[in-house]
Structure 1
């Protein structure tokens, strides 16, 4: 049983460009119909799109420990954590680089976690 999906803002502004998407910082977040907790994250200029998953909704055992300074930069002590989905026959999620989101302001930051605990391509099934 998954948790209720939080209300998230439709406009996101990254504090620094997400890795691989430089120089883009402004994005639109849109829920995917019929897939609670799955969102399309599209660059405001229309040049890039990826899928993200609300970690609290689907990944109960995922408990990243981002640096306190990164959490502080986002402006909330309890950021919403999104993970990038790599769709495919066996979809995976990037647990090594979560997106910390201030659900009130839309400010966000993708962080790189230290250490090997969280893989870049964790299988989505069974989480």
Structure 2
């Protein structure tokens, strides 16, 4: 898809801030987010708008300004997926927000106990 540059390295991945975001073939809305500096570091991310329509955390105005996002459609909202045979989970507490036009990104750690770090994907998707 494109190059992604985090405004600050994602928590736990310091000092990495340059990534590529590529769709996973045959899995609509699933992407790999791979470090440019260390390609062996790769996360799976899911397009929240496509797969989690009820999930819409608020992006504070100051953070939207940092990203250069003026409208919701300017941003791609992703959640990090932890795949597992027992059932994949998604991190709803710390979404990744990407400016669709520039590739600027941030991982927003929400201050809301309603969003779990490990939400069961099957339950959220209604499976």
Q: CA deviation at 1:66?
A: 2.6
2:65 corresponds to 1:72: yes
Q: 2:21: which partner in 1? A: 29
* Cα RMSD for the two superposed structures: 1.0
State the alpha-carbon separation in 1 of the partners of residues 91 and 26 from structure 2. Answer: 22
The structure with the greater share of residues assigned to helix is 2
Q: 2:93: which partner in 1? A: 96
1:85-117 deviations in whole A, cap 9, x for unaligned?
Answer: 011020000000001110000000001001211
State the alpha-carbon separation in 1 of the partners of residues 32 and 20 from structure 2. Answer: 8
Unaligned runs of 5+ in 2: none
Q: 2:79: which partner in 1? A: 83
Structure 1 stretch 77-86 or stretch 18-27: which is displaced more?
A: 77-86
Unaligned runs of 5+ in 1: 1-8
Q: 1:113 aligns with which of 110, 118, 121?
A: 110
State the alpha-carbon separation in 2 of the partners of residues 94 and 16 from structure 1. Answer: 19
Q: Is the 8 A contact 1:15 1:107 kept in 2?
A: yes
2:81 match: secondary structure: strand
TM-score (norm 2): 0.89
